[in-house]
Structures are given as C-alpha cells and as structure tokens.
Chains A and B, each alone.
Chain A
Amino acid sequence: DAGVTQSPTHLIKTRGQQVTLRCSPKSGHDTVSWYQQALGQGPQFIFQYYEEEERQRGNFPDRFSGHQFPNYSSELNVNALLLGDSALYLCASSLSSTEFFGPGTRLTVL
C-alpha cells in the first residue's frame, strides 16, 4: 500500500499563471481533502471531495477549484496565481474521520 501520493513535489509558477496539483488517495479511501499550509502555520482547509462532488469548502476564493475522478484520485486547480498562493499544498484521504496526509506539493509563485 503506497499511502497517499501527490505530484509534483515542487512547482514554480509566475503570477497570473494556472496550476494543477494531483493526489492519489490511500487504497480503500473514498474521500479526499485539500489543505494549504503556509510557512509556520497549520493546514487550512480548502475543500473536500466525496463521490466526485465537492462536499465541503473552506474560505478560499473561486480561483481554487477541484475535481475527483471515479478512481477517487483528485486534482486541485488554482487560477490567476498570486504571490500569496505560495505554500505547501497537502492532500489528505480518509474513509471515515481519520485523515492521512500526502507528502505535499511545494508551490512557489514568483
């Protein structure tokens, strides 16, 4: 069991660009949540996907969107990147309440 995986590991973009991050959940998990973790802070909830639908959403603008595929993998898309979007983006998968995190994607916006 590979656990939760994410790609890419690191990404550098410029302001105004768009980015897509990917997540494969732990085997048997059907729910995927995305978090943004700025340096020195706790993870901030972006949204959660279940049965290919966005089930819950945190306080993030519409520039942040996502998708879940039939195999439960998920993508996070961010449009019109801002400098403030630079952060570690974490994906977490779960079957019930317990979430397991992926290694994250470090996004740098220049």
Chain B
Amino acid sequence: GENVEQHPSTLSVQEGDSAVIKCTYSDSASNYFPWYKQELGKRPQLIIDIRSNVGEKKDQRIAVTLNKTAKHFSLHITETQPEDSAVYFCAAPYNAGKSTFGDGTTLTVKP
C-alpha cells in the first residue's frame, strides 16, 4: 500500500514568516495530492490540492509544489498569521479510492 511520510511533526514560526511542510509518498501511480487543515475539535478542511500534471499551484498565501520524480510534495504558507495555527495533513490517494494521510504537522504562528 501507499506510505506517506510528513515532516516536520511540529513547526513554530513568527507571524509574517513562511512555513513549509513536506510529504513523501511511495506509490508512483498516485496522481492527486490534497492538503488539509484541521483546527482543534473540527473537521479536516481541504485548503489546496494538486494533480500530477502540474508542478505548482497557488492560492493567495498558500502554494503546493510537486516533484513526481522524487515523489514528494510540499505545502508553502507565506506571510503566516496566527489564524494559520492548526494541524496540517497531506494525503496521497491510491488504488482508485484509498487515501493515506500523513501523521500531521502542528503549526504554531506566534504573534
């Protein structure tokens, strides 16, 4: 099955700095890579996703990059704000429907 490794497990940045979270995956057939944000006690919410036919996608302060050769994809958050503090998960769906999630990164943005 798919193996997804996510790093770092915790990340603390100063407000206004950038944050980068990286995931590596094992199944070369994976072609869709979402990122979710989960605040305490709430559901995971999709914040950005990328398909394997593109290398980068941006949405305001959030971007995702994909390196299919190296089998890794990264979440980039620029100009971080305290409300960005949450747990972020990457996922790599495979086998026509199964999804494997990373273990999560707890991001803390200090004002």
- Residues of chain B within 8 A (CB-CB) of A100 are 46
Partner of B101, one of A43, A59, A97: A43
Tally of B interface residues using CB under 8 Å: 24
CB under 8 Å from chain A, chain B span 39-70: 42-46, 49, 51
Interface of A is mostly: strand
Tally of A interface residues using CB under 8 Å: 24
- Residues of chain B within 8 A (CB-CB) of A104 are 43
Interface of B is mostly: strand
- Asked whether, in the complex, the Cβ of B43 is within 8 Å of the Cβ of A42, the reply is no
CA distance A90 to B102 in the complex (A): 16
User: Which residue of chain B has its CB nearest to the CB of A55?
Assistant: B97
Q: In the complex where A48-B97, A58-B98 touch, is A101 in contact with B89 (Cβ < 8 A)?
A: no
- Asked whether, in the complex, the Cβ of B89 is within 8 Å of the Cβ of A43, the reply is yes
- Asked whether, in the complex, the Cβ of A56 is within 8 Å of the Cβ of B89, the reply is no
Q: Does A31 contact B (CB under 8 A)?
A: yes
Which B residues have a C-beta under 8 Å from some C-beta of A?
A: 1, 6, 32, 34, 36, 42-46, 49, 51, 89, 93, 95-104
Which A residues have a C-beta under 8 Å from some C-beta of B?
A: 31, 33, 35, 40-45, 48, 50, 55-56, 58-59, 90, 97-104
